[in-house]
Amino acid sequence: MNIIVVGLSHRTTPVEIREKVAFAPTEMEKPLRQMLALSTVNEAVIVSTCNRVELYACTRDIDNAIVQLRCFLADYHNLDNAVLAPHLYDYYGEDAIRHVFRVSSSLDSMVLGEPQILGQIKTAYAYATEHKTAGLILNRFLHKAFSVAKRVRTETSIASSAVSVSFAAVELARKIFEKLEDKTVMLIGAGEMCELAARHFVSNGVRSVLVTNRTFARAEKLADEFGGRPVPFAEFADYLPQVDIVLTSTGAPDFVLSAEKAEEVIRRRKNKPMFMIDIAVPRDIDPRVNDIDNIYLYDVDDLQGVVAANLKERKKEAKKAEMIVEQEIGQFFRWLGSLDVVPTVVALRRKLEDIRRSELEKTFGNLKGLDEKERKAIEALTAAIINKVLHHPTLLLKQSSNDATSDGYIDAVRALFNLETPNPDNEIKPLDHFDGEGKRSHG
């Protein structure tokens, strides 16, 4: 059995095509069942996010399954296959395992180390479990992917530093103030990045939020969203002495906070530190404010410098993460290879043992004078011959389960010894339920 991946991502496809092949999260049953109904597909999972759409499947027919899945993706969304095909990639075998381990560990994400993709794959797996399209192999595979992602987060620092301008502001504030729980934030203006940074501060526990804007209704609306208090724009400077962190992005042509006013504010604060984040272009705060003791002023370029340094650090950690992925691939690939090898070895031994017993019965029927000791000696001799004959083929099959020759050897052994092809009705089906360890159970 083989694992294959067919899909597209931000690396291969513009957003105008990605949005056309996205699957609605509330309507996953239909596409999952259609995917499972393909003649080459035994198990199915669909991952659909804003940055990628991927189909995970189990199959015994790699080439035809890839063709069917590519056509399914185009047909389901009423797209011309010729238009979609150049954007698609496909992986199978060890490459498929590597790809999914890397994706779940956020090594293939637009923002290296972001945590959202793991949750999105878990959600995709939950849909497949709910609609009974994932069985033994994808169950074991995705649980392994989750554990690999956990190892990466535990054993590396790939997600420990901010790589967005808005979150970098929070990271810097923590270095200045150590804790944020007793701090007050003022949001000046309604720029998108400024608002996003404010959301990060709120989620990190700041005590209170003041919001001011030239349009007071907008200030009221934002304050309501943050559980804060609106402040008239003409009076915001009067509130600054009670503020620890200032976020500003007004779009004003001139400075809204001068160095002279900032000096007055810090005196009224009795020199308690202030952190000011000016994300506006052109700038809202006079850059001379940075020369005032106990005021820490950062503009958008400063924050982008922090982001760039953090991204560089994440890339270093990504090398450690890639090593973890490579370590884990071999272990899972060996397990996957053993799924076909073990039944073949068992069937081969059973076939030769049946022949041995049948021939022994004929021989003992013609040799009436044998005593028990002689019969046992002949049985032991024939059993030893069978073991000798089976030793090398068994060893070769087990060794081949670790590489690409496995299918060839299995097919050859089954053909040479006329072994019965596994009955699909006896195989583990995705309609059965499996626990997290890949064990079969019936609900």
Give me the active site residues, please.
50
d(CA 288, CA 291): 6
- The structure tokens listed for 75 are 């047909």
d(CA 292, CA 272): 12
Residue type at 266 in one-letter notation: I
Q: Which residues contact 435 (CB under 8 A, 6 or more apart)?
A: 441
d(CA 122, CA 142): 8
- The structure tokens listed for 347 are 């069937």
404 and 10 Cβ atoms separated by less than 8 Å: no
337 and 402 Cβ atoms separated by less than 8 Å: yes
Rg (CA), the chain: 32
d(CA 386, CA 365): 21
Element (H, E) at 56: strand 52-59
Residue 90: C-alpha distances to residues 48, 63, 133, 184 (Å): 16, 10, 20, 51
